[in-house]
Chain A
Amino acid sequence: MARSLAAGGGLGTRRMNAIKRALIYIIVTFLAAVILVPFFWMLSTALQEKGDIFAWPPQWIPDPPQWRNFAEAWTAMPFNRYLGNTIFVVVLGITAELASATIVAYGFARFRFPGSDLIFLILLATMMLPFHVTLIPTFLIWQHFGLVGEFDPLVLRAWTAWGPFYIFLLRQFFLTIPRELDDAAEIDGANTLQTFFLIMLPQIRPALLAVAIFAFRGYWNDFLGPLIYLTDMKLYTMNVGMYFFMGGVNEAPQWNYLMAMSIIIALPVVLLFFVAQRYFIEGITFTGLKD
């Protein structure tokens, strides 16, 4: 008797919970659908025959799907080359981002010097400058060094620790690591570099991974940088190359190719998100070793 009563009470709250969950699922499903419709349309367009894209009524599921659009788009412009260029920039860029941001962040976290707070504030303030504002001045600086037209401005800029967000992220991480660890290392005879490389870096691995992922996304998706700095069609990255399908003054956009390339370019980022989403979140919320 007592058991069934208890069960009955449990059923009530459980039903409430079930309804609540069902509601949440309905809302989430609806929002997901809203977000996914454009993706579906992108895929649908990528598989359409050229003339069918504006067919009325719209053809949601192409019949038959034109899978060859992907191959044709890839070969319409030298995308093998563009992919190589993109990977070159992405790999060098991530390396530079990680190395420079870590060192600078460590400096801000562990070393007090006159004006360090002010410098850090100024660094953060640069986050408020939109890219477009600094576009022309930065361009002129690179031009002064004679490096416009090459990959240099895209990669070398990261060595100047230009990513305040990464520095901020890593600095906060370093701050959560107890100083006792540094002291222990010092007592064991480690010098500053050894402490940094052997003790500190392993501690902030999740944050480094997060920065790497963010940087990958940033470099992979970067469009305006390559567009402005690269002046040789042979050096174009995927994003810039894709725009050839936008057509010209009397050339209609090749939407099916454009969408096919968009999917190819979006794929690594989407895959990366699924594989690494734990680190995306962890990198920002989880804070290593606690006091």
Chain B
Amino acid sequence: MLASVLLVIALVLSACGGGKNDNGANGGNGGNAANNGSSGNNSGGEPAQKVQIRLATWAGADEAKELQAILDDLNAKSGTYEIVQDSNPAEYDTRMITQLSGDSGPDLFWVSAQRAAQFAAGGVMLDITDRLASASHPAADTNDYYEASLGPFTHDGKIYGLPWLQQPVMMYVNKALFDEAGLDYPDESWTWNEFLDAAKKLTKDANGKRADEEGFDANNTVQWGFTLNGWPPAQMFIWQNGGEVITEDMKSSPIDTPEAKEALNFYADLVQGPLVPSQSIIRDRGFDQMFRNGQVAMFMGGAADNLDSTVENVQAFMVPAGPGGTHVTFGDILGMGINAKTKNPDAAFQALLDLTDAIHHWKIMPPRKSLADLETLKELHPNKAHSLEAIIASMEYARPYRYSEKYPDWDNIFWTQLMDPIINAGARPDDLIPKVKPLLDNALQ
């Protein structure tokens, strides 16, 4: 009996496996490359035939379509590679970590700055230092990149990937509400003080009373000057005030310095005060949606956000400087790396350069100084033309977090133990800092 059962299973297995393999060879690769691929030798030395390069991204529906148009163009031009897109915004990290843990990961993949720092340290991404040095490609010139943008991809002096986007946090302003309040638009000279004054004049109740006027009813607010829900990050304000959340040697977390304390109190006053909607209102009505509807006058968002191109009277300005005039903004950096286990490192590197350059011409803001030219960018992004000057200026002082392998643990404590109580439970920084600092320091050890 047992034997017959085994026989049945074996038969079924082989039948199914055989059928599926045929299927795979035809369907999986498609076109000429398929025969080459199924004969088991994809790497085949000379690129006499185009090599298939699999690209994993987190692109959503619209982004994936735009990306495909770019890939079709690159594939048509290239004699060495054929990039196949494998996009999905769902569980991108889980997916990448699982696939990269084996040999079947993608050849190229999009990566966030935080993951890039981990992957570079963990040897997951291919070291491209020497290849970059010997390549004569516009995207290969490391001196052309903003220094901050290469940081997450650099480990021990070696480069493991290239950034395709660095978007500084900008202050999106509803100019109609500024006009109505008789305010000048923000400029370079704005510090926290000017920002606070403007926010007070832009916050009004149902009776039309402004927040700096006698008889303002904070329980009946219909328009807010600003909005905060953990975003923009408190780190940015601490930097603006001359403080740090992680020291340069990445060994401790100096959130108890006077600068950091003052900035955290500034943040807490804003988020708990009348100039910003309560967290429950933000949850109900949508964070950026309130800005789009004209219920919030100033909103901080990434330079690539479409608030200025899809909402009337909205323009992006530099975020206000700290009280001492220090300009800093958070820069979100995204990039692309090559799987260290790729079978086709040469073709993958060529694809990396071409695609990185193409994305630099597609998205705001390319992390390259040579592309930070107002006229060029206006031509590429006419619908954001009015904001570009401020965006380019912000590139000079945008910086990412100090990522390391220990960053995720640190980040978890920072958000759950410090920021969450401040934002959602009305806790005060002065009470929390002495308790949270040792935890943060410990996470970095």
Contacts and interface: CB of A to CB of B under 8 A. Distances in A.
A227 B88 contact: yes
A15 interface: no
Given A143-B104, A250-B306, A77 B91 contact: no
Contacts of B5: 103, 107
Contacts of A246: 60, 89-90
A234 B29 CA distance: 10
Contacts of A236: 88
Interface in A229-278: 231-236, 240, 243-254, 257
B12 A103 contact: no
B102 A231 contact: no
A246 B64 CA distance: 12
A162 interface: no
A56 B13 CA distance: 57
7 contacts: A56-B285, A103-B8, A232-B86, A233-B86, A246-B89, A250-B302, A251-B63
A249 B289 CA distance: 17
A103 B10 CA distance: 13
B60 A240 contact: no
Contacts of A248: 58-60, 63, 89
Contacts of B191: none
A76 interface: yes
Given A152-B24, A248-B60, A250-B167, 8 more contacts: A54-B285, A107-B5, A150-B24, A231-B99, A244-B60, A244-B61, A244-B88, A245-B61
A135 interface: yes
A148 B102 contact: yes
Interface string A130-151: 0000011001100100001111
Given A107-B5, A243-B88, A246-B89, A254 B58 contact: no
Contacts of B285: 54, 56
A152 B54 CA distance: 19
Contact of B28 (A56, A99, A149): A149
Contacts of A100: 9
Interface of A: 54, 56, 76-77, 92, 99-100, 103, 107, 111, 135-136, 139-140, 143, 148-152, 155-156, 159, 192-193, 223-224, 227-228, 231-236, 240, 243-254, 257
Interface in B60-88: 60-64, 84-88
* A-B pairs, 8 with minimum CB distance: A243-B90, A54-B286, A54-B289, A244-B61, A248-B60, A143-B102, A250-B304, A148-B104
A233 B9 contact: no
Nearest to B8: A103
B101 A140 contact: yes
Contacts of B27: 234-235
Contacts of A235: 27-28
Nearest to B12: A159
B69 to A, nearest CB: 15
Contacts of B106: 231
Contacts of A92: 16
Interface string B1-36: 110110011001100110010011001101000000
Contacts of A231: 54, 56, 86, 99, 104, 106
A156 B102 contact: no
Nearest to B66: A251
B89 A136 contact: no
A277 to B, nearest CB: 31
Interface string B379-407: 00000000000000000000000000000
Contact of B90 (A54, A143, A227, A250): A227
A134 to B, nearest CB: 12
B219 interface: no
Contacts of A193: 4
B98 A228 contact: yes
B58 A77 contact: no
A159 B13 contact: yes
A234 B17 CA distance: 20
B46 interface: no
Contacts of B17: 152, 156
A92 B19 CA distance: 12
A85 B103 CA distance: 25
Contacts of B101: 136, 139-140
A198 to B, nearest CB: 15
Contacts of B286: 54
B1 A111 contact: yes
B425 to A, nearest CB: 25
Contacts of B340: none
Contacts of B289: 54
Contacts of A253: 60
Contacts of A143: 102-104
Contacts of B59: 248, 251
B284 interface: yes
A103 B54 CA distance: 40
Nearest to A251: B60
A159 B16 contact: yes
A227 B91 contact: yes
